[in-house]
Amino acid sequence: MSLMALTAPLVVQVVRTGVANIASVLAGLRRLGAEPALTEDPQTVATATAVVLPGVGAFGAGMERLRASELVTVLRERVAAGRPTLAVCLGLQLLCERSEESPGVEGLGVLPAIVRRFPATVRVPQLGWNEVLPQAEGGLLERGFAYFANSYRLDSAPEGWGWARSEHGGPFVAALERGAVLACQFHPELSGPWGAALLGRWLARAGDAR
Protein backbone atom coordinates (compact mmCIF):
# COMPACT_ATOMS: atom_id res chain seq x y z
CA MET A 1 0.00 0.00 0.00
CA SER A 2 1.27 3.49 -0.81
CA LEU A 3 0.57 6.55 1.30
CA MET A 4 -1.38 7.98 -1.63
CA ALA A 5 -3.85 5.11 -1.23
CA LEU A 6 -4.60 5.90 2.40
CA THR A 7 -7.92 7.58 3.09
CA ALA A 8 -6.29 9.94 5.60
CA PRO A 9 -2.68 10.98 6.26
CA LEU A 10 -0.76 8.56 8.44
CA VAL A 11 -0.08 10.19 11.80
CA VAL A 12 3.49 9.51 12.93
CA GLN A 13 4.42 10.27 16.52
CA VAL A 14 7.98 11.60 16.76
CA VAL A 15 9.50 11.21 20.23
CA ARG A 16 10.82 14.45 21.65
CA THR A 17 14.20 13.16 22.87
CA GLY A 18 15.73 16.55 23.55
CA VAL A 19 18.88 15.68 21.58
CA ALA A 20 17.44 15.23 18.10
CA ASN A 21 17.55 17.18 14.89
CA ILE A 22 13.78 17.18 14.93
CA ALA A 23 13.21 19.67 12.11
CA SER A 24 14.73 17.49 9.39
CA VAL A 25 12.79 14.42 10.53
CA LEU A 26 9.49 16.28 10.57
CA ALA A 27 10.18 17.81 7.15
CA GLY A 28 11.14 14.44 5.65
CA LEU A 29 7.92 12.83 6.87
CA ARG A 30 5.77 15.71 5.62
CA ARG A 31 7.34 15.55 2.17
CA LEU A 32 6.09 11.96 1.92
CA GLY A 33 2.53 12.83 2.88
CA ALA A 34 2.65 11.72 6.51
CA GLU A 35 1.39 13.85 9.39
CA PRO A 36 4.13 13.98 12.06
CA ALA A 37 3.43 15.08 15.62
CA LEU A 38 5.87 15.60 18.47
CA THR A 39 5.22 13.75 21.71
CA GLU A 40 6.79 12.64 24.97
CA ASP A 41 3.59 11.13 26.35
CA PRO A 42 3.93 7.41 27.21
CA GLN A 43 0.31 6.56 26.38
CA THR A 44 0.58 8.21 22.97
CA VAL A 45 3.79 6.31 22.18
CA ALA A 46 2.24 3.05 23.39
CA THR A 47 -0.88 3.33 21.21
CA ALA A 48 0.38 5.18 18.11
CA THR A 49 0.24 3.49 14.73
CA ALA A 50 3.77 4.65 13.89
CA VAL A 51 6.56 6.07 16.05
CA VAL A 52 9.93 7.62 15.22
CA LEU A 53 12.76 7.67 17.79
CA PRO A 54 15.27 10.19 16.41
CA GLY A 55 18.50 11.35 17.91
CA VAL A 56 21.57 13.49 17.42
CA GLY A 57 23.73 13.84 20.50
CA ALA A 58 25.01 11.85 23.46
CA PHE A 59 23.76 8.42 24.55
CA GLY A 60 23.55 9.40 28.21
CA ALA A 61 21.54 12.56 27.56
CA GLY A 62 19.14 10.68 25.30
CA MET A 63 18.45 7.99 27.89
CA GLU A 64 18.05 10.60 30.64
CA ARG A 65 15.29 12.29 28.64
CA LEU A 66 13.53 8.98 27.91
CA ARG A 67 13.56 8.07 31.60
CA ALA A 68 12.33 11.51 32.65
CA SER A 69 9.44 11.15 30.21
CA GLU A 70 8.72 7.57 31.41
CA LEU A 71 9.16 6.25 27.88
CA VAL A 72 11.63 3.43 28.56
CA THR A 73 9.09 0.65 29.18
CA VAL A 74 6.67 1.63 26.41
CA LEU A 75 9.46 1.84 23.83
CA ARG A 76 10.83 -1.54 24.90
CA GLU A 77 7.42 -3.14 24.63
CA ARG A 78 6.65 -1.46 21.31
CA VAL A 79 9.82 -2.66 19.59
CA ALA A 80 9.62 -6.12 21.15
CA ALA A 81 6.06 -6.44 19.78
CA GLY A 82 7.23 -5.45 16.29
CA ARG A 83 4.92 -2.44 16.02
CA PRO A 84 5.88 0.16 13.36
CA THR A 85 8.86 2.00 14.82
CA LEU A 86 11.72 3.86 13.15
CA ALA A 87 14.91 4.64 15.10
CA VAL A 88 17.33 7.11 13.52
CA CYS A 89 21.05 7.60 14.29
CA LEU A 90 21.32 7.88 18.09
CA GLY A 91 17.85 6.31 18.16
CA LEU A 92 19.36 3.04 16.94
CA GLN A 93 22.06 3.21 19.60
CA LEU A 94 19.51 3.85 22.36
CA LEU A 95 17.92 0.48 21.52
CA CYS A 96 21.12 -1.24 22.69
CA GLU A 97 22.16 -2.32 26.18
CA ARG A 98 24.84 0.33 26.64
CA SER A 99 27.39 2.51 24.86
CA GLU A 100 31.06 3.25 25.33
CA GLU A 101 30.09 6.91 24.98
CA SER A 102 28.32 6.94 28.37
CA PRO A 103 29.79 4.33 30.73
CA GLY A 104 27.38 3.15 33.40
CA VAL A 105 24.26 4.27 31.53
CA GLU A 106 21.78 1.54 30.61
CA GLY A 107 20.11 1.72 27.21
CA LEU A 108 16.69 0.39 26.29
CA GLY A 109 18.18 -3.10 25.99
CA VAL A 110 15.97 -4.15 23.09
CA LEU A 111 19.09 -5.11 21.16
CA PRO A 112 21.60 -7.34 23.02
CA ALA A 113 24.52 -5.25 21.85
CA ILE A 114 27.08 -2.68 22.97
CA VAL A 115 27.72 0.50 20.98
CA ARG A 116 31.45 1.09 20.44
CA ARG A 117 33.53 3.99 19.19
CA PHE A 118 35.10 3.85 15.73
CA PRO A 119 38.80 2.94 15.85
CA ALA A 120 41.39 5.70 16.03
CA THR A 121 42.64 4.71 12.56
CA VAL A 122 39.73 6.52 10.84
CA ARG A 123 38.23 9.99 10.97
CA VAL A 124 35.82 10.42 13.87
CA PRO A 125 33.08 11.45 13.63
CA GLN A 126 32.15 9.90 10.33
CA LEU A 127 30.47 12.77 8.47
CA GLY A 128 29.17 12.30 4.97
CA TRP A 129 27.96 9.68 2.53
CA ASN A 130 28.65 5.98 2.75
CA GLU A 131 27.38 2.94 0.91
CA VAL A 132 24.67 0.82 2.52
CA LEU A 133 24.82 -2.88 1.60
CA PRO A 134 21.87 -5.07 2.69
CA GLN A 135 22.72 -8.64 3.58
CA ALA A 136 19.51 -9.99 2.03
CA GLU A 137 16.92 -8.93 -0.51
CA GLY A 138 13.20 -8.46 -0.12
CA GLY A 139 13.09 -6.27 2.98
CA LEU A 140 12.84 -2.54 3.52
CA LEU A 141 16.57 -2.03 3.01
CA GLU A 142 18.02 -1.68 -0.47
CA ARG A 143 21.51 -0.93 -1.70
CA GLY A 144 22.39 2.75 -1.95
CA PHE A 145 24.21 5.67 -0.38
CA ALA A 146 23.15 7.35 2.86
CA TYR A 147 24.27 10.30 4.95
CA PHE A 148 25.97 9.45 8.26
CA ALA A 149 27.00 11.59 11.24
CA ASN A 150 28.31 9.29 13.97
CA SER A 151 31.29 8.55 16.19
CA TYR A 152 29.93 5.26 17.57
CA ARG A 153 28.46 2.17 15.93
CA LEU A 154 27.43 -1.46 16.27
CA ASP A 155 30.08 -3.79 14.91
CA SER A 156 27.74 -6.78 14.45
CA ALA A 157 24.02 -7.39 14.02
CA PRO A 158 21.97 -9.11 16.74
CA GLU A 159 20.53 -12.51 15.89
CA GLY A 160 17.06 -12.42 14.40
CA TRP A 161 17.40 -9.06 12.65
CA GLY A 162 17.88 -8.31 8.97
CA TRP A 163 20.70 -5.87 8.48
CA ALA A 164 22.80 -3.77 6.17
CA ARG A 165 26.46 -2.88 6.56
CA SER A 166 28.76 -0.02 5.71
CA GLU A 167 32.55 0.32 5.96
CA HIS A 168 34.45 2.83 8.10
CA GLY A 169 37.47 1.41 9.86
CA GLY A 170 35.98 -2.01 9.11
CA PRO A 171 32.40 -3.18 8.63
CA PHE A 172 29.68 -1.84 10.92
CA VAL A 173 25.90 -2.03 11.11
CA ALA A 174 24.32 0.63 8.92
CA ALA A 175 20.73 -0.46 9.62
CA LEU A 176 18.60 -3.18 11.18
CA GLU A 177 15.09 -4.31 10.33
CA ARG A 178 12.57 -6.79 11.65
CA GLY A 179 9.02 -6.62 10.39
CA ALA A 180 7.79 -3.04 10.79
CA VAL A 181 10.73 -2.02 12.98
CA LEU A 182 13.54 -0.20 11.18
CA ALA A 183 16.65 1.21 12.87
CA CYS A 184 19.09 3.29 10.82
CA GLN A 185 22.52 4.49 11.91
CA PHE A 186 22.33 6.96 9.02
CA HIS A 187 19.81 9.76 8.47
CA PRO A 188 17.26 8.64 5.86
CA GLU A 189 15.62 12.08 5.94
CA LEU A 190 18.94 13.60 4.76
CA SER A 191 19.83 10.88 2.26
CA GLY A 192 18.22 12.25 -0.90
CA PRO A 193 15.86 10.21 -3.09
CA TRP A 194 17.27 6.90 -1.81
CA GLY A 195 16.52 7.85 1.80
CA ALA A 196 13.10 9.18 0.89
CA ALA A 197 12.28 5.89 -0.83
CA LEU A 198 13.31 3.96 2.30
CA LEU A 199 11.14 6.19 4.49
CA GLY A 200 8.29 5.70 2.03
CA ARG A 201 8.55 1.91 2.26
CA TRP A 202 8.52 2.06 6.05
CA LEU A 203 5.53 4.42 6.06
CA ALA A 204 3.67 2.15 3.65
CA ARG A 205 4.30 -0.83 5.93
CA ALA A 206 3.06 1.19 8.91
CA GLY A 207 0.00 2.15 6.85
CA ASP A 208 -0.71 -1.50 6.13
CA ALA A 209 -0.60 -2.16 9.87
CA ARG A 210 -3.12 0.59 10.39
187 carries an active-site annotation:
yes
CA distance linking residue 143 with residue 76, whole number of Å: 29
DSSP for 12-76 reads: EEEE--SSS-HHHHHHHHHHTT-EEEEE--HHHHHH-SEEEE---S-HHHHHHHHHHTT-HHHHH
The H-or-E segment that residue 147 falls in is strand 144-150
- Active-site residue (options: 40, 89, 96, 168): 89
Kindly name the residue from 40, 96, 177, 187 that is annotated as catalytic: 187
Catalytic residue among 40, 101, 177, 189: 189
Q: By three-state DSSP, how is residue 142 classified?
A: coil
Q: Which residues are catalytic?
A: 89, 187, 189
